[in-house]
Amino acid sequence: MSAKHASDPVHPLAQRPLVLTRVFDAPRALVFEAWTKPEYLARWWGPHHFTNPVCEVDLRPGGALLIHMRGPDGIVYPMTGVFQEIVPLERLVFTSTPQVGVLKVLTTVTFEERGGKTTVTVEAKVLEATAAASRMLDGMEAGWSQSLERLGDLVQGSLKERAP
């Protein structure tokens, strides 16, 4: 499977990575923890009004990431992933497959702290996609944007209150 098949239309995200940057008014250790502890990740991953009844993180290179997102309509969207690289407090790299055989994405997340605030940059690069992935790709930017909004609410709210 490749990002382009002879008869498939090429989605713009199959050509270039999606890059989003957000600044959070929270220390880097707290933001990194929200990305790597399943009890926190489950609270913000996915678009608005989605929940994550299953969220498992094996935080090591080669370790698995498993998230089942439940939409407001009750439909569950399983996503599996594998961590490729982990540099504590600095960088996470993982592949994710929201639908086996249809889409595979390499996501790189970097964390930079300045003055008690953390800049997070998410780069999502499509490794494999078929024409059937077009709908998922159409919603990728909005999904990540909403996820990052939810992350901000978490780390600038309830998690920050417990930070030293």
pTM as predicted: 0.90
- Structural domains of the chain sorted by starting position, each given as residue range(s) with its CATH number in brackets: 12-162 (3.30.530.20)
CA-closest candidate to residue 139, choices 88, 98, 100 = 98
pLDDT of 9-57, one tens digit each? 567 877 899 999 999 999 999 999 999 999 999 999 999 999 999 999 9
Which portions of the chain are predicted below pLDDT 70? 1-10, 163-164
